Amino acid sequence: MAAPTMDRSTAAAPATPVQTLTISKALNLGLRAAMEANPKVIMMGEDIGKLGGVFRITDGLQKDFGEQRVLDTPLAESGIIGTAVGLAIRGYRPVCEIQFDGFIFPGFDQIVSQVAKLHYRTQGRIKMPIVIRVPFGGGIGAVEHHSESPESYFAHTAGLKVVSCSNPSDAYWMIQQAIDCDDPVLFFEPKRRYYEKGEVDTTAKPGPLFESRVLRSGTDATLVAYGPMVRTSLDAANAAAEDGTSLEVIDLRSLSPLDLEPVFESVRRTGRLVVVSEAPSESSIASEIAAKVQQECFYSLQAPVLRVTGFDTPYPPSKLEEEFLPDLDRVLHAVDRSLAW
Amino acid sequence: MSSPEQWTHPEPDAAPAATAAKPTAEQVIAGLRATDEGGADLVQLLTPEGERVTHPDFDIDITAEELRGLYRDMVLIRRVDREANALQRKGQLGIWVPLLGQEAAQIGAGRAMRQTDMAFPSYREHGIAWTRGINPTDLLGIFRGTDMGSWDPVEKRFHPYTIVIGNQVLNAAGYAMGQKFDGKVGDDEGEATMCFFGDGATSQGDVHEGFVWAAVYDAPLVFFCQNNQWAISEPTERQSRLPLYQRARGYGFPGIRVDGNDVLATLAVTKWALDECRHGNGPILIEAFTYRMDAHTTSDDPSRYRLSDELEMWKLKDPIERVKVYLVRQQWADSEFFDSIEAEADALGEELREFCTNMPDPPAERIFSNVYAEGNPNLEAQRDEFLDYVSGFAGGEH
Ligand SMILES: Cc1ncc(C[n+]2csc(CCOP(=O)(O)OP(=O)(O)O)c2C)c(N)n1
C-alpha cells in the first residue's frame, strides 16, 4: 500500500473570496480546504464517501481525495471513534462524522474513556487531534433519535472541547480551526440550518475558535444562544426592536471552554439575561451559564437569569416539536418576564 | 493466506462436544468446560512434563541461549508479580492485578514482537511491558495511585494500560490501519500491531467492532486473547458457546488456539501471525489457552467461585517448570545458571520494594496538567484559584 498522496482538486479553490453559501456548502468547502492543507487529515464515517453523507456535507471529497482519506466505515460508532484514536496516535487527524445526534451514544464510551483522557493519562505524550462532527438538534420533522441535543454530556467531560457553528462563515472557518486544534473537538452542526445562506469570506480568517461573539448589540436585555437557536434569537431581537425593546444577542460558538467574558460584560450593562437552547435545561450548558453569571454579575442583575430551552423530556414525536423547541414567542415571553421583574 | 486450511476454515464439528447427533446447548456448554486440555486443535511444542513435541505447521528452531532467555524473562516477571502482590498486602499499593500463570503467554507473545511493532495492552500485561523494555517500576504508579503509567507509549511502542474492557482493541485496529495507510505493510520489513484482551472482553461490542474493522481494512493486527478461563467470577462459557479462536472464522480471518502455558508454542505461533500481518495477510486471532493462578485482583476472592481442584490441575501445567525440566534434560542449563537467575530475581524484587516505598506523591498541579494540549482558560483559572488556596496554608503544606 502506497503512502497517502495529496490529491489536489481543481474544484477546491473558490473563484471569489466572498461568496454566498449555505452552511452545508461552507462546511464542505471548509473540510476540503483542511484536507488540502494537511495530508494527514482524513474523514471517517458511515456513508460519507460515494453518497457524501446523508446531509451531503462530505460531497465529492472521496472522489477527489480517494478512499484512503475519506473512509466509508462499517456501521458502528464505537468503531469509528475507537479506530480514530489509533489513527491519531499514528499521526493522523481524523474527522469523524456521526450520522445523527441520537447515534453518538454507542461511541460515547470511546469518546469519554479514551479520546478525552489519553492526553491527561500520558502526561501529554499522546495527542488526540480528532474532530467529531455531529449534525444535531430538531426542527426537521424527523423520527426519534434524529433530533437530539446531546452537547452537555460532552461539555461535562474534561479533555473535550465542544463548539457549535450558527452561520456559513463560522461553519467554513470553525471546522478548519477545529481540525487544526490538537485537542479533540466535538463539532455540533445545526442541521435545521444547513440550508440557510450567508456570506463567507474565504480569505479573512475570523478570530479564535473558542470565543463567543456579540452578533447584535442592545441595551435592555441580553440573549445568549448557540447553534440553531442563534437564528431564533436574532429573529426575536428583530421582533423586539419593532416594539422598542433593544436586545443584545451573543453567539456562544464555544460550549467548552465557555467564553463568558462578553456575556458578563453585556449583563453588567443590560442587567438581564435570557439563555436560549433547545437542549433540556436540567444540568445543561444553559444551567452552567446561569450559575456563572449569577456568580460574576450578582450586583448587576435586575432579574434572575432565565432559561428558554427544550423540556426535560425525551425529544417528542415530531408533530409536537414545534411546542418543544424554543421559538421566537417563547424567547420574547421570557424577555418580557425578565423586564417585568 | 499462507495459513493451513484448517485455521482458515476450522471444521465446526472439530469441537470435542460434537457428536453425530446435534448436541443440546447443555452438552455444548459442558463440552466447552471440558476443553481444559485445550482441545484437539491446541498448538503445543513443550508438554507440561517438559518434553519437546513437534507440530506439523508450527515448529521453531530454538537455541539453548534463546530458551534460557525466555526462562529468565518468565522467572523475573513472576518475581515482579509476586513482589507487587506482596507490596499490595503491605499497603504499599492500592491494588495489584496478578499475572501468575500467564508468564508463558506474555513472554512468548512479547518476544515475538519487533521494536517497530506496536502493542496495545489491557491491564494485566506486565510480561508484555517487560518485553517492551519497560522497567517494572514504571508499572507501580498505576497501582499506587501516583500516575497512570509513566512510560512513554510512543517511544516504547506500548500503549497505556486500558481499564475499560475492550476499548484498546479498537484503538489498536485504528493504529494498525495507520500502519497500512503509511505503506509500512507488505514485506519482511513491515510493521504489525498486537492487542491484548481477555476471554471476558470478547463479549464486548468494541472487540466485535475491532474484528470487523481489522478484517475489512486488512489491518496488520494480531488479536491476542489470553483465555485465562475466568472474567473475575464468570467462566468462559458465560461468554461464549464456541471456543473463542473459532470465532475468527466468522469475521473471515484465521483463528488459532495455542497452549498459553507453553512459551515455545506461543512464541512460534505469534511470530508466524505477526509475520503474516507484516506481509499484509492480517488480521489473525490467537487464543492463548491459559489459566489465572491467582485472584483476579488483590481485591478478589476466587474461593467463592472456583474449585481448588481446578487450581491443582493447572499447577501441573506450570509454564516455568516445564522449561526448567527441558533445559535440564537438554543439559542446556545447570544449577549455577538457575542460581544466577534466582539471584537476579532477588535483586529485582529488592529494587521494586525500595522504589515503591520511596515513591513520592505527585504535586497538586498534576490534577490540572495536560487535560488539554492547547489549554483552557476556565480550567487554568480554576487551577490558579486552587493553588492559591493551597499555598495559603502555613509553609504551603496541605
Ligand atoms: C467495560 C468494563 N466493564 C466492567 C469492568 C470491570 N472488570 C474489570 S476486569 C473484568 C473481567 C475481565 O475479564 P477478562 O476480559 O477475561 O480479562 P482477565 O481479567 O481475565 O484478564 C471486569 C468485569 C471493566 N473494567 N470495564
Per CB-CB distance under 8 Å, the chain B contacts of A74 are 209, 212-213, 216
Measured between CA atoms, the residue of chain A closest to residue B171 is A86
Q: Which of A96, A93, A71 is nearest to A81 (CA)?
A: A96
Other residues' Cβ atoms within 10 Å of the Cβ of residue A151: 25
- Rg of chain A, C-alpha, whole Å: 20
Q: Ligand 1: does its nearest atom lie under 6 Å from the Cβ of B164?
A: yes
Continuous segment of H or E residues that includes residue A25: helix A23-37
Residue having the nearest C-alpha atom to atom 18 of ligand 1: B198
ipTM here: 0.87
Residue having the nearest C-alpha atom to atom 19 of ligand 1: B231
Query: Separation of B207 CA from ligand 1 center, angstroms?
Result: 13
Q: Give Cβ neighbours of residue A309 (< 8 Å, ≥ 6 apart).
A: A275, A276, A277, A278, A279, A280, A281, A284, A286, A326
Per CB-CB distance under 8 Å, the chain A contacts of B170 are 78-79, 81-83, 85-86, 110
- The answer, yes or no, to whether the previous bond of A257 is cis (omega within 30 of 0) is yes
pLDDT of residue B376 exceeding 50, the answer is: yes
Q: Ligand 1: does its nearest atom lie under 6 Å from the Cβ of B287?
A: no
Other residues' Cβ atoms within 10 Å of the Cβ of residue A142: 18
Q: What is the pLDDT of residues B239-267, one digit of tens each?
A: 998 999 999 999 999 999 999 999 999 99
Residue A293 · residue A106 · CB < 8 Å: no
Instruction: Please give the average per-residue pLDDT across B280-300, as a whole number.
Output: 97
Query: Separation of B194 CA from ligand 1 center, angstroms?
Result: 19
Question: From CA B51, how far away is CA A233, in angstroms rounded?
Answer: 80
Each domain of chain A, given as residue ranges in start order, spans: 19-201, 213-340
Spell out, as residue ranges, where chain A has pLDDT lower than 70.
1-15
The pLDDT assigned to B40 comes to: 82
Q: Ligand 1: does its nearest atom lie under 6 Å from the Cβ of B165?
A: yes
Residue having the nearest C-alpha atom to atom 3 of ligand 1: B165
Measured between CA atoms, the residue of chain A closest to residue B179 is A90
- The answer, yes or no, to whether the previous bond of B136 is cis (omega within 30 of 0) is no
Coil, helix or strand for A45? Answer: strand
Instruction: Please give the average per-residue pLDDT across B368-388, as a whole number.
Output: 94
The atom number, within ligand 1, closest to the CA of B227 reads: 16
Q: Do the first three CATH levels of A19-201 and A213-340 match, i.e. the same topology?
A: yes
**B22 band by pLDDT with thresholds 50, 70 and 90:** low
Per CB-CB distance under 8 Å, the chain B contacts of A114 are 162, 164, 167, 171
The pLDDT assigned to B13 comes to: 45
Other residues' Cβ atoms within 10 Å of the Cβ of residue B53: 12
Instruction: Please give the average per-residue pLDDT across B6-14, as a whole number.
Output: 42
C-alpha cell of B323? 522449561
**B3 band by pLDDT with thresholds 50, 70 and 90:** very low
Residue A130 · residue A43 · CB < 8 Å: no
Residue A130 · residue A118 · CB < 8 Å: no
CB–CB contact A121 B185 (8 Å): no
The pLDDT assigned to B32 comes to: 53
Q: Which residue has the cell 416594539?
A: A243
Other residues' Cβ atoms within 10 Å of the Cβ of residue B145: 13
**B237 band by pLDDT with thresholds 50, 70 and 90:** confident
Catalytic residue chosen out of the listed positions B126, B157, B249, B292: B292
The pLDDT assigned to A42 comes to: 98
CATH top class, domain A19-201: alpha beta
Q: Which residue has the cell 494498525?
A: B176
Question: From CA A76, how far away is CA A287, in angstroms rounded?
Answer: 32
C-alpha cell of B179? 500502519
Cα distances (Å, whole numbers) of residue B115 to A14, A172, A194: 46, 42, 48
Residue B51 · residue B92 · CB < 8 Å: no
The pLDDT assigned to B33 comes to: 54
Instruction: Read off the pTM.
Output: 0.90
DSSP B243-287: -GGGGHHHHTS-EEEEETT-HHHHHHHHHHHHHHHHTT---EEEE
Quick check: is A146 catalytic?
A: yes
The pLDDT assigned to B21 comes to: 67
Partnered with residue B81 across adjacent β-strands are none
Question: From CA A265, how far away is CA A229, in angstroms rounded?
Answer: 21
Continuous segment of H or E residues that includes residue A134: strand A131-136
C-alpha cell of A207? 478570530
CATH 3.40.50.920 corresponds to the domain A213-340: yes
The pLDDT assigned to B29 comes to: 52
Angle (nearest 5°) at CA A185 between B158 and A216? 165
C-alpha cell of A193? 440550518
B11 or B72: which carries more pLDDT confidence? Answer: B72
User: Which value, to the nearest 10 degrees, does the dihedral of the CA atoms of residues B83, B87, B90, B95 take?
Assistant: -130
Q: Which residue has the cell 507453553?
A: B262
Tell me whether A157 touches chain B (CB under 8 Å): no
Catalytic residue chosen out of the listed positions B78, B157, B249, B296: B296
Q: How many residues does chain A have?
A: 341
Partnered with residue A221 across adjacent β-strands are A247
The pLDDT assigned to A5 comes to: 40
CB–CB contact B374 A92 (8 Å): no
Q: What is the pLDDT of residues A184-208, one digit of tens each?
A: 999 999 999 999 999 999 998 888 9
Q: How far is CA A93 from the centre of its chain?
A: 19
Question: From CA A18, how far away is CA A13, in angstroms rounded?
Answer: 12
C-alpha cell of A200? 463567507
pLDDT of residue B30 exceeding 60, the answer is: no
